[in-house]
Amino acid sequence: MSRTPDQIAADRARYEEHQRKGLQNAPRALPGPSAIPATPIAAPIHVETIPGGWYWSTALKAGDTIRIAQDHGPSAVSLVAWSSADTSERLNLHDTVKVQWTTAIARGRVLFTDMGRVLFSVTEAASTAHDALVGGSTAASNAARYAGDQRNTRDNFILVAGKLGLDRRDIPSALTLFAPVRVDAEGNFIWRDELRVAGDYVELRAEMDLIIALSNCPHPLDPSPDYAPQPVTVTRFRAPVAADDLCRTATAEAVRGFENNAMQLA
């Protein structure tokens, strides 16, 4: 049964009032984008280059940070992650967007699991040109745009899952970094290429022991007719965490998420 315009307007008004109250609980304003170029990492633990079209997976310890950088030109990098302790707990973009009242993945935000715990803190981000809504490419999306049999993110993640003893059903919705997807007034997904910045990078600090997978394939909404993903550099390092760390104190939702992390460790 279709809703009347008055019902739609009333639902919208209730949502906006709920959002207003939620946003009032944010004790700190988020900063602007991180500076480009990024500060050199003094003592990297590991540096990995992911070629265009390929994937990489690794285990992270709580406190490890990874910098994902576009050192060789634009490319979209999809990410999924699971808790090492229990792979049924995994990245949940629906909750990440819902409880923080924004689809923007920006410096000072956090990424949540489906258990209400914080998976990653976004400690640095040189732009907000990231996609938490659409997900990565598939064989079908590649076939609709490119000639030949090109690698895609869904199949890359299926390969990772198999190596980890997981099934394709265990693959959560993917966050795609460096993919400037937005929603227009009619609710359509659109590609905002002007939001991309040269030399973009993101730093994600693991807030629990994790297994992550990264796939370097073009986003399904990228309008370029060419399949030409550039290599990306992933650097793992550790850095001290301040008592008033931005990601842990910026929003009421993040504070509750870190409280849930602490209860799990206890």
Helix and strand element counts for the chain (H, E):
6, 12
pLDDT tens digits for range 178-226? 999 999 988 899 999 999 999 999 999 999 999 999 999 999 999 999 9
Edge-to-edge strand list for the sheet holding 64-69: 46-50, 232-238, 64-69, 201-206, 118-125, 110-112
Eight-class DSSP state of 122: E
pTM (two decimals) = 0.89
**Domain limits, the chain:** 44-265
CA 179/CA 62 separation, integer angstroms: 27
- CB–CB of 36/196 below 8 Å? no
What pLDDT does residue 253 have? 86
pLDDT tens digits for range 45-103? 999 999 999 999 999 999 999 999 999 999 999 999 999 999 999 999 999 998 887 88
Eight-class DSSP state of 133: S
The owner of tokens 């910045």 is 197
pLDDT tens digits for range 234-264? 999 999 999 889 999 888 888 899 999 998 8
